[in-house]
Amino acid sequence: MKGDKTPSKIGQRLWSRDVSLWAGEADEQAAIANRLGWLDAPVWFRSKINGLVSWADEIRAAGFDRAVVLGMGGSSLAAEVMARIFGRGPGGLALTVLDNTHPDAVRAVLESEHFESTLFLVASKSGTTLEANVFLATFLEALRQKVGAEAGNHFVVITDADTPLARRAADEGFRHCFINPGDIGGRYSALTFFGMVPAALLGLNLSSLCDGAETALADAHLFEAGEDNSALELGLFLGHWAGRGRDKLSVLLSPALTPLSVWIEQLIAESTGKRGVGIVPVADARVPLDAYGADRIFVAVGLACDVDLAQRCQAIKEAGHPIDYHSLTSTESLAGEFFRWEFATAVAGSLLGINPFDEPDVTVSKNTTTALLQGQLETDTTPWVTLIDEAGIRVDGRRAGSADTGALASSLIGFLAAVQPGDYVALLPYLPATPQHEAAMAALATRVRSRVRAPVTVNLGPRYLHSTGQLHKGGPATGVFLIITVSADSDIAIPGEAFGFSQLNLAQAEGDYRVLAGLDRRVIRVHLSCPTDIGLTKLSACLETDAMASG
């Protein structure tokens, strides 16, 4: 069976933990052997339910009424998905995720009227995640000023064994430290403490969630003819079509499942974007069918009662696009989707000839950010220049040629003129995640999409640095990137650091800009020193005005 990649054999080799299923040298395959613990996660999860339920009861009894997850990427997105899909269960805590370093996002937590009754979950597999640690330092110091020596009781850590974060939890007397299985990577950790501790605090029915995960686990073991192994089939579908040029993936979801899209996005992008290949997840924009190119595939996950989605899938199929449809009886099957997509991603990675369990390019931007904050990089080392700096908007990038007159509209339009068939555009805003900003970015994405007629994604920074950023740098050179930063009205100091959150937020954007530029990716950066809403409106208007003028 070794080396056999017929469909059923791929599934069987995955269950036997045959690391030769994935490309790589001997040392890389040895590392993969220590990243396959997620295959056992549903069984592991079942064994932890009673303890988690009892612990969550103790938290509620202690007077906490809100929980905030401090984490990035795979360490926090499952929690966000469950909070948005299910909300609070009976007696559960309100739960939010902070993965945004803009001062306004941090200030919203600091100034919450529930601050003194908030439990903070510090989530980091390595225990060294910069964002999680500066969030921890900031909120711990703020609580010490309010509640004194009891501040540590407001903090719970989720990490691997013997990490700096685990040691700090013990040294400083934090309320609890959950040690996660060390053989499970961050983005494959939804069914471990990273996802299930927040689920317990939300007051969700953990046993019901686990039922869904165990069903998906059992289905993924089916290999006889006629049996429905939807996880294997999904992986084969993704790998087959992406390997044949259809590498833009639209995930269609029933409205009740929409929040799942951000979790799928990070899993697929970070896992497959390696060695110049990758699958590009694209948010569902409901554009006309003739706007989809020959590089697109579709996967739909719908509730059985969603007639509209079923009809839309049929229309997409009739238009000649490959589509995979999976039906769920209810949202209670969500944990099963976590497992199904993890299994499918591992299968797709095998077909694409990459290692879906590493993230070699994620650390590059992080290291550049650190060097910027420490003053170890020159300020003028990028090969690109300031194109325009007026009226509260500065644009940095590579001059587009004669069409670029130095005006905002011509700079943006000249930049987007470089988009070719097979490309995608990624809008990368480093903004507070408010409904107003999300609406403005959606409007900008629509304008860009109408101009370039190519897939457009919106990836919020710095979150994307821990997920889709791997695809941007390690995947195919088909991305066209527009980074957007804003000036903060006031900064927030970070205890023990020489920089505040505003400087950190801008350095993260600058670091990624420099790395993308160094890889000769097509990238432009727009900085708004004017009010954010005004600046975003101006950007959209530039594209609309030109479109109208050109008829």
Residues 6+ apart with CB under 8 A from 130: 366, 369, 370
User: What is the per-residue pLDDT for 405?
Assistant: 58
Give the sign of the dihedral formed by CA 460, CA 431, CA 481, CA 258. positive
pLDDT digits 0-9 by tens, 232-255: 999 999 999 999 999 999 999 999
In a domain, 254, yes or no: yes
Mean pLDDT of the 287-292 span: 89
pLDDT above 90 (res 1)? no
Point out the least confidently predicted range of 23-32, 188-197, 463-472: 23-32
What is the per-residue pLDDT across 412-454, written as a single tens digit (0 to 9) for each?
888 999 899 999 999 999 999 899 999 999 999 999 999 998 9
pLDDT in tens, 78-99: 999 999 999 999 999 999 999 9
Asked if residues 332 and 208 have their Cβ atoms less than 8 Å apart, the reply is yes
Percent of the chain surpassing pLDDT 70 = 95
Burial class (CB in 10 A: 0-12, 13-18, 19+), 311: exposed
- Say yes or no: 449 and 541 in one domain: yes
Same domain, yes or no, for 180 and 123? yes
Mean pLDDT of the chain: 93
> What is the pLDDT at residue 549?
34
SS percent in the chain: helix, strand, coil, step 5: 50, 15, 35
62 vs 59: CA distance, rounded Å: 5
**Residue 1 domain-assigned?**
no
Q: What is the pLDDT of residue 414?
A: 87
Distance separating alpha carbons of residues 235 and 230, to the nearest angstrom: 9
For residue 257, tell me if it sits in a domain: yes
Q: How far apart are CA 119 and CA 158, in angstroms?
A: 13
Q: pLDDT at position 4, please?
A: 75
| Residue 104 and residue 235 in one domain | no
Predicted confidence (pLDDT) per residue in 492-513, tens digit: 999 999 999 999 999 999 999 9
The answer for residues whose C-beta is within 8 angstroms of residue 128's C-beta and 6 or more apart is: 163, 164, 165
CB neighbour burial string for 63-96, b if at least 16 within 10 angstroms, e if fewer: ebebbbbbbbbbbbbbbbbbbeebeebeebbebb
Q: What is the pLDDT of residues 202-217, one digit of tens each?
A: 999 999 999 999 999 9
The domain total for the chain is 3
pLDDT band at 377 (very low <50, low <70, confident <90, very high): confident
Q: Are residues 523 and 374 in the same domain?
A: yes
pLDDT at 399: 64
Are 247 and 196 members of one domain?
no
> Quick check: is 210 in a domain?
no
Identify the domain containing residue 522 by its residue range.
362-549
Q: Are 341 and 426 found together in one domain?
A: no
CA 551, CA 148: separation in Å to the nearest integer?
65
Is residue 331 in some structural domain?
yes
Length of the chain: 551
pLDDT of residue 380: 57
**Residue 522 placed within a domain:** yes
Question: Which residue, of 352, 382, 399, is where some domain finishes?
Answer: 352
φ, ψ of residue 156 in degrees (nearest 5):
-125, 135
| 367 and 318 within one domain | no
Q: Is 28 a domain residue?
A: no
**Per-residue pLDDT at 550:** 32
Note whether 217 and 343 are within 8 A (CB).
no
| Residues 507 and 422 placed together within one structural domain of the fold | yes
Instruction: State in Å, rounded, how far the first CA of the chain is from the last one.
Output: 61
Query: Both 337 and 258 in a single domain?
Result: yes
Asked if residue 340 and residue 395 are part of one domain, the reply reads no
Residues in contact with 382: Cβ distance below 8 Å, sequence separation at least 6, in sequence order: 396, 513, 514, 517, 518
Q: How far apart are CA 67 and CA 86, in angstroms?
A: 15
Are residues 258 and 196 located together in one domain of the fold? no
What is the predicted pLDDT for the residue at 33? 95
d(Cα 424, Cα 280) in Å, to the nearest integer?
Answer: 8
- Per-residue pLDDT tens digits for 443-452: 999 999 999 9
Question: Which residue, 328, 352, 376, sits at the end of a domain?
Answer: 352
Question: 496 and 418: one domain?
Answer: yes
Model-level pTM? Answer: 0.95
Burial class, 426, CB count within 10 angstroms (exposed 0-12 / middle 13-18 / buried 19+): buried
CATH (domain of 317): 3.40.50.10490
Residue 64 pLDDT: 98
What burial class does residue 26 get, using C-beta atoms within 10 Å of its C-beta: 0-12 exposed, 13-18 middle, 19+ buried? exposed
Domain boundary among 352, 372, 387: 352
- Helix or strand holding residue 301 (H, E): strand 296-303
Residue 220 in any domain: the answer is no
